[in-house]
Structure 1
Amino acid sequence: MKNYIFIVGLLFPYVLFAQNITGKVINDTNEPLVGASVYWANTTTGTTTDINGEFSLSTKSTSTSVLVASYVGHTSDTLKVTNQTFVNFTLKASKSLNEVVIKGQRDGVLISNLNPIKTEHITQTELGKAACCDLAGCFETQTTVQPQTTNVITNSKELRILGLSGVYNQVLIDGFPMIQGLTYTYGISSIPGTLVDNIFISKGANSVLQGFESISGQINVETKDPTNTDKLLLNAYINSFSEKHFNANYAFKKGKWSNLTAVHTVQPANAFDKDEDTFLDLPKLTRYMVYNKLNYGNEAHWGWHSKVTVRYVNEQRIGGQTNFNADTDQGSNTVYGQTVNINQPEIWTKTGLRLNDQHHFVLYASSFYQDQKSYFGTVKYDANQTNFYANLQYELNYGNHALKTGLSFRHLDIDEDIAFTDNTLQRTYDGDYFRNENIIGAFAENTMSLLNDKLTWILGIRLDNHNQFGTQVTPRTLLKYDLTPSTIIRANIGTGWRTVNLFSENIGLLASSRDIIFEEQLQPEKALNMGINITQKFDTDNMSGFISADYYRTSFKNQIFPDYDTDPTKAYISNFTGTSRSNVFQTEVYLNFWQQLEFKTGYSFLDVYRVIDNQKEQLPFNPKHKVVTSLGYKPLSNKFRIDLNFHWYGEQRLPNTQSNPIEFQRPDFSETYMLVNTQFTYNLNKFELYAGCENIFDFRQEQPIISWQDPFGPYFDTSSVWGPTRGRELYIGMRFKIPSK
């Protein structure tokens, strides 16, 4: 009976609540205007647009039918509302205020008051404060997301939210699940920072529209759009290790068509071994990428619209001992090395038809193929993956509701072949591993505004049928309540589940000498996440900003985490159905003084543990306490800017090595440490010069590899990396831009 009421309330709540009008405000180049004012003429009833330029406003208790939209530096516009439920405003820039508009710049981090899901919006302003060579480097100034090294030899990384492994948050590229399976290991490093336009981060249970994952959160990376980016962008970068990056973007528009083409390459660093453990401090990375995005039409307008993006990546990583030669020593049992060779074509497309203000159909489709050939010492790992995703969605705006419902399909085919070129250690996990998944899903999500727009309620549910694990149900609900126009409280609760791809998600297992023992067939991981947060915004003549505080709890019903502690020469893999939880508290303060001086600081408390034999056991590599602080200054002329950020990490529990021989033992906990980074940027017409230093005080975790003296012995392990391993890094770069007209 409860389920019936839930579904009826989800699909047909329009009989219960009052009328709203929604819409969007853009400028004459189709860019959304964030923070534009929309109000009923001659009244004090109004609202502001969110990060997408969208708004929702009640028609209840208003005596006028004239709606006004205004934005600083633009000419206001009015529109008479008759029976519409969705309207568009296009505001033209005011010529008399051109100089003011040019000087204006968005804050680095935005949190919309309108979005029911607390979403941190990282803008181009924030991304410009660091080198941001790739996506993994775009979170240097963020508290919510923590990049974590998963294999120090090839420098693979993951993005953690709520103290949990990166596999539990969903990384989307333009709303598509392109980081999945094999692409999880190196995918976030293959997106160049010059291609990233905006990043949207949300913690905890999210919308069900993109799938059933996102247990700990979601990171949606929005690549640059040809309709509102520079006509030409050139970027060149080199660091003190002599790693070189070059990027070029070119965009054009003609009528309803627009196109962006980008190329990207990375050329390898020189050989460095500062801690004299005979291993390279960073791998030699060579990458080539070609990208093209073609757009037709405008999603906010009636009629057809489409976006088609294609990308191709070729990448090689070489790491290991300094005398390792990739041409002659692959698979060698005398010189240790790791090589990774990847070829990956991708395509994703979004095509829609907006019939009118109420009805909108959208088809999302994406596919990629990856061919990977790798060696990890004497472990040969060849793998390929074919991935296909489709989502047909119908959107209905009615009254004060927005209903989105549809069908989805996922196909994932992975073939992994593992062989040993030498098996002196008598490891047993070689062989062929196949995964073939077909998942058919149906979903519905309704967003409603109640109590004169003070309360926004999202109800969503998914039903997915997995070809191996049967039907899975994923319900989620999210609430937003406006205590005042600038004080917002949000809460969310929901479940999530995911299937495991063990080797690509735990690449350090292949890099170590451990044998891998599968104790049982692995089941899907499942968890319940709940959270609450409050955001207080303020805006005066001289200062703007926000204060936020969050608490989230994740409780796993089944979790798969390799057991490294029982035996130093083995990793045991099994389902864990006991108590496994993550409790996270985070608070953040952001202040902007006179549009010149920015200050941001955030504190995170992580309590991530399992209960084994009635004992609470902290999971490794999670600093219980972490502080991130950043300072930035730029004059009103925007001629230059200086940015400085500090990261302080508390101690982290490390895997137990007490059963190792004494020379291969490590402490149970890491040191506390602090990193300080800085960057100076100078604007010279169309040129922008930047130079910086990461890890100014040259803190390093010395000799992070266990048993580096004997890389083919039974105790060799790369899994105890808890801090920076390559020390101070200097860099210099140049950007050249020709803005679009």
Structure 2
Amino acid sequence: MKYLIILLSILSPFFSIAQTGAVQGKITANGKALPAATVMFLKTSFRMATPVSGNYALKEVPPGNYTLSVSGVGYITYKQQVNIAADSTIVLDVELKEREGDLNEVVVTGTMKEVSRLESPVPVEVYRPSHFQKNPTPSLFDAIGMINGVRPQLNCNICNTGDIHINGMEGPYTLILIDGMPIVSSLSTVYGLSGIPNSLVERIEVVKGPASSLYGSEAMGGVINVITKNPKNAPLVSIDAFGTSWQEYNVDAALKLGGKKVQGLLGMNYFNYQHPEDHNQDGFTDVTLQNRISIFNKWNFVRKENRVASIAARFVNEDRWGGQMSWNKAYRGSDSIYGESIYTRRWEFIGQYQLPVKEKIMTQFSYNWHNQNSWYGNVPYMATQQVGFAQLYWDKMIGKEHNLLLGGTYRYTWYDDNTPGTLSADGLVNVPAKTPLPGIFIQDEWKFTERQTLLAGYRYDYDKHHGSIHSPRLAYKFSPNAKNTFRASFGTGFRVVNLFTEDHAALTGARQVVITEELKPERSYNGNLNYVLKVPSESFLLGLDITGFYSYFTNKITGDFDQNPNQIIYSNLNGHAISRGLSLNSELSFYFPLKVLAGFTYSDVYQLDDHGQGRIRTTQLHAPKWSGNYLLSYTFPKDFSVDFTGVFTGPMRLPVQPNDYRPERSPWFTIANVQLTKKFGNGLEIYGGIKNIFAFIPKYSLIRAFDPFDKTANDPVSNPNGYTFDTEYNYAPLQGRRIFAGIRYNLLSHL
């Protein structure tokens, strides 16, 4: 008996091998074999990647209950419980569905109607909040710096205001939309981008290049459309809060309201930074101090036949200041201690309503009121702007090939400030600017074959000062297969002048504004070529998105910083301007949880101006020829992930003074960040990391910081070069390395 027991113990492993089972089958997508799909039993070592044939087999599996998981890059993960019996083989074929957020994701910005990204004849880039959460920021202005070709440019070293550049074009050429309506524009472009609660953002859509045929004035360089969440699909409660070692604190929170017929979403963003720092020891704050609150409320109404009806409102209140370290509000507006103090208050209302008729006829409306009370040293800037917008359009399918869009818009802008921009011709009377801008547009999207689409659009606007403005557009898309897509678009754009948007330097108090002539509207002529390629393999999926762009501008409004260091001289360009270049976005996703994103943009932005001695080429300020971004993301077991993100920027031309000791070109630099995130099963996440890990800050910033009011600037002994105090020499934030940590929580709802 003793020897029998020993024999059985020796042979038991062989019996166990014989008493195993297996599961096998084929993984497909869209009816075709799917290579590089990961097939595994969760919480075991049984896993494999499918070959080109898509076939898989997990063998020698001990009997028991398992969870089979099948995943692929760009596809929804499939899970199923499997009971493995001894000496049995289960045959299980799996068809994976493409994940939302890939090329089948619905977008609206390119054509003003819902269409999948793959089918859109206009290239649209889509970014979800998860993309920006890999490097959390307190505002949309900071977040979109993670998008290739989109660059937030700080225009003031003291008040830290800025604008958004697309493909090297300045901020006034970028139109910011919220749910498709031009809420953030003109005066609010500088300050209105802060305070949009990230917890309410469903996605951000970016169209690069002129889109005036649909959106009118200001859409010359591109469009950024912030799509807010549908309350129906939002979490019941969400909160995201983080702080940094610089004592910056940010809280984003949202609450779902209502029931089956009416669903609402209430959101709040609060940002506070009240700890002055002067690491470069120039006597001025490195970062503007801010105290900002933004409240957003959106309501959707459930109607018959899924007709649309929604209304939303947002309120923003901000108090920011920067300046000499000894400044406080008692010195606001004085000429003894320099400070730039800005009080901003803003209301926004937006809504849309689908008419209760058989045809799909949409109405959209918005209104915003923006008030600014500012002092730049001892120079005041007081301004109020109101913008009303209404739009009606008809979306009609004609047969199976034509989708017609026909509509009319009316935009009314009321603007008043205490600058020369709103003075009468004789300079004696203040005359608020009133700009009505009616327009009509038509667009036909003709899908004349299964693989080819042609879009033709035309818009007519009438401005009381500039007369009729015509904006045609033509776009073509060809997709020979699911892996290759070619797009070409051509069109024109225009922009009606608002002096505030031309350059924030006009209001910092450091330079005098000089307008040499009545400014005419700018016009642009643009062409884009786009190619999208998807390369699947057994171990990874590679996506490439390449775009070449070219824009020709007439009547371009230029600010001359060079003729007189104490002035900005505005005039229409006596010549033309060019913006041309190439951008590449690449995405590399492996079958194991590693994702790599990288992009670069080359842009050549310049103008040819005739000063009476032939045309002189001048490179645009703050327009680097090379820029880009990068992201590496890896997820470890148990939902622990690490993200390495960053942007790089090449040399750019900067506004310097005669005989300036500061270089006219900025250096190459990168700002990189690292973040660690741990997700828990109950909707809770904790995260932390380091921003600007290489601690890059500009070597030079302010000039003559010891004499910000230029009281001794005319002294030839102490100031032989005639330098004047100027805040516009800027190419990167003055904030160095800092640690951050935060918590994120989402409580899901089943309403």
Task: Give the TM-score of the pair, scaled to structure 2.
Answer: 0.80
Cα distance in 2 for residues equivalent to 1:488 and 1:266: 42
Q: Name which of structure 1's ranges 167-176 and 130-139 shifts more when overlaid on structure 2.
A: 130-139
Relative distance call for 1:264 and 1:430 in structure 2 (3 A) is farther
Match of 2:238 among 233, 236, 239: 233
Relative distance call for 1:334 and 1:354 in structure 2 (3 A) is same
Q: Deviations over 1:665-718 (max 9, x none)?
A: 421211121221111111123221111222111111134122212111161111
Matched residue type, 2:242 = Y
Q: Name the SS of the counterpart of 1:194 in structure 2.
A: helix
Alignment of 1:210-609 (within 5 A): 210-297=215-302, 302=305, 304-326=307-329, 328-353=330-355, 355-356=357-358, 359-399=359-399, 400-418=401-419, 432=430, 434-451=432-449, 453-540=450-537, 542-594=539-591, 596-609=593-606
Q: Name the SS of the counterpart of 1:697 in structure 2.
A: coil
Matched residue type, 2:673 = N
Cα distance in 1 for residues equivalent to 2:699 and 2:378: 25
Relative distance call for 1:701 and 1:341 in structure 2 (3 A) is same
Partner of 2:734: 725
Whether the aligned pair in 2 keeps the contact of 1:371 and 1:384 (CA below 8 Å) is yes
Whether 1:666 and 2:628 are equivalent positions in the alignment is: no
Aligned residue pair count: 639
**% of aligned pairs identical?**
27
Q: Deviations over 1:497-524 (max 9, x none)?
A: 1122222442222214222111011111
Whether the aligned pair in 2 keeps the contact of 1:416 and 1:433 (CA below 8 Å) is no
Matched residue type, 1:531 = N
Q: Deviations over 1:572-614 (max 9, x none)?
A: 1111141210111111211111261111111211111112333
Q: Name which of structure 1's ranges 683-692 and 470-479 shifts more when overlaid on structure 2.
A: 683-692
Cα distance in 2 for residues equivalent to 1:470 and 1:582: 26
Partner of 2:620: 619
Relative distance call for 1:245 and 1:460 in structure 2 (3 A) is same
Matched residue type, 2:631 = S
Q: Following TM superposition, by how much is the alpha carbon of 1:257 offset from its aligned partner in structure 2, in angstroms?
A: 2.0
Relative distance call for 1:190 and 1:303 in structure 2 (3 A) is closer
Q: Name which of structure 1's ranges 237-246 and 609-618 shifts more when overlaid on structure 2.
A: 609-618
Whether 1:679 and 2:675 are equivalent positions in the alignment is: yes
Cα distance in 2 for residues equivalent to 1:627 and 1:387: 35
Cα distance in 2 for residues equivalent to 1:187 and 1:430: 31
Q: Name the SS of the counterpart of 1:722 in structure 2.
A: coil
Relative distance call for 1:615 and 1:505 in structure 2 (3 A) is closer
Q: Following TM superposition, by how much is the alpha carbon of 1:733 offset from its aligned partner in structure 2, in angstroms?
A: 1.1
Q: Name the SS of the counterpart of 2:172 in structure 1.
A: helix
Cα distance in 2 for residues equivalent to 1:430 and 1:648: 48
Q: Name which of structure 1's ranges 365-374 and 106-115 shifts more when overlaid on structure 2.
A: 106-115
Q: Name the SS of the counterpart of 2:671 in structure 1.
A: strand
Cα distance in 1 for residues equivalent to 2:371 and 2:162: 19
Q: Name the SS of the counterpart of 1:167 in structure 2.
A: helix
Whether the aligned pair in 2 keeps the contact of 1:606 and 1:625 (CA below 8 Å) is yes
Whether the aligned pair in 2 keeps the contact of 1:365 and 1:391 (CA below 8 Å) is yes
Cα distance in 2 for residues equivalent to 1:333 and 1:580: 40
Relative distance call for 1:593 and 1:93 in structure 2 (3 A) is closer
Q: Name which of structure 1's ranges 406-415 and 532-541 shifts more when overlaid on structure 2.
A: 532-541
Cα distance in 2 for residues equivalent to 1:332 and 1:304: 56
Relative distance call for 1:255 and 1:192 in structure 2 (3 A) is closer
Whether 1:645 and 2:645 are equivalent positions in the alignment is: yes
Cα distance in 2 for residues equivalent to 1:254 and 1:95: 32
Alignment of 1:83-162 (within 5 A): 112-162=117-167
Q: Name the SS of the counterpart of 1:574 in structure 2.
A: strand
Q: Deviations over 1:49-83 (max 9, x none)?
A: xxxxxxxxxxxxxxxxxxxxxxx999xxxxxxxxx
Cα distance in 1 for residues equivalent to 2:417 and 2:148: 36
Whether the aligned pair in 2 keeps the contact of 1:238 and 1:245 (CA below 8 Å) is yes
Whether the aligned pair in 2 keeps the contact of 1:460 and 1:475 (CA below 8 Å) is yes
Matched residue type, 2:328 = N
Relative distance call for 1:654 and 1:433 in structure 2 (3 A) is farther
Relative distance call for 1:161 and 1:433 in structure 2 (3 A) is farther
Cα distance in 2 for residues equivalent to 1:146 and 1:712: 31
Partner of 1:630: 631
Matched residue type, 2:319 = Q
Partner of 1:739: 748
Q: Following TM superposition, by how much is the alpha carbon of 1:97 offset from its aligned partner in structure 2, in angstroms?
A: 8.2
Whether the aligned pair in 2 keeps the contact of 1:207 and 1:460 (CA below 8 Å) is no
Q: Name the SS of the counterpart of 1:530 in structure 2.
A: strand
Q: Name which of structure 1's ranges 250-259 and 178-187 shifts more when overlaid on structure 2.
A: 250-259
Q: Following TM superposition, by how much is the alpha carbon of 1:142 offset from its aligned partner in structure 2, in angstroms?
A: 2.0
Cα distance in 1 for residues equivalent to 2:102 and 2:564: 47
Match of 1:173 among 178, 186, 210: 178
Cα distance in 1 for residues equivalent to 2:98 and 2:279: 44
Cα distance in 2 for residues equivalent to 1:485 and 1:246: 42
Cα distance in 1 for residues equivalent to 2:398 and 2:518: 47
Match of 1:201 among 202, 206, 229: 206
Q: Deviations over 1:510-568 (max 9, x none)?
A: 21422211101111121111110111013456422411211101110111121001111
Whether the aligned pair in 1 keeps the contact of 2:645 and 2:672 (CA below 8 Å) is yes
Cα distance in 2 for residues equivalent to 1:538 and 1:433: 59
Whether the aligned pair in 2 keeps the contact of 1:192 and 1:264 (CA below 8 Å) is yes
Matched residue type, 1:410 = R
Task: Give the TM-score of the pair, scaled to structure 1.
Answer: 0.81
Matched residue type, 1:316 = D
Cα distance in 2 for residues equivalent to 1:121 and 1:162: 17
Q: Following TM superposition, by how much is the alpha carbon of 1:483 offset from its aligned partner in structure 2, in angstroms?
A: 2.9
Relative distance call for 1:648 and 1:181 in structure 2 (3 A) is closer
Matched residue type, 1:650 = G
Q: Which runs of 5+ in 2 are unaligned?
A: 1-27, 34-67, 71-75, 83-93, 106-115, 421-425, 714-723
Q: Following TM superposition, by how much is the alpha carbon of 1:213 offset from its aligned partner in structure 2, in angstroms?
A: 3.3
Q: Name the SS of the counterpart of 1:450 in structure 2.
A: coil
Q: Deviations over 1:152-190 (max 9, x none)?
A: 212112111110102112111111101112211111122
Q: Name the SS of the counterpart of 2:231 in structure 1.
A: coil
Q: Following TM superposition, by how much is the alpha carbon of 1:479 offset from its aligned partner in structure 2, in angstroms?
A: 0.9
Relative distance call for 1:38 and 1:484 in structure 2 (3 A) is closer
Cα distance in 1 for residues equivalent to 2:443 and 2:217: 13
Matched residue type, 2:697 = R
Partner of 1:61: none
Q: Name the SS of the counterpart of 1:281 in structure 2.
A: coil
Matched residue type, 2:691 = E
Q: Which runs of 5+ in 1 are unaligned?
A: 1-35, 45-71, 75-91, 420-427
Q: Name the SS of the counterpart of 2:629 in structure 1.
A: strand
Matched residue type, 2:749 = S
Q: Name the SS of the counterpart of 2:355 in structure 1.
A: strand
Whether the aligned pair in 2 keeps the contact of 1:107 and 1:126 (CA below 8 Å) is no
Cα distance in 2 for residues equivalent to 1:534 and 1:177: 29
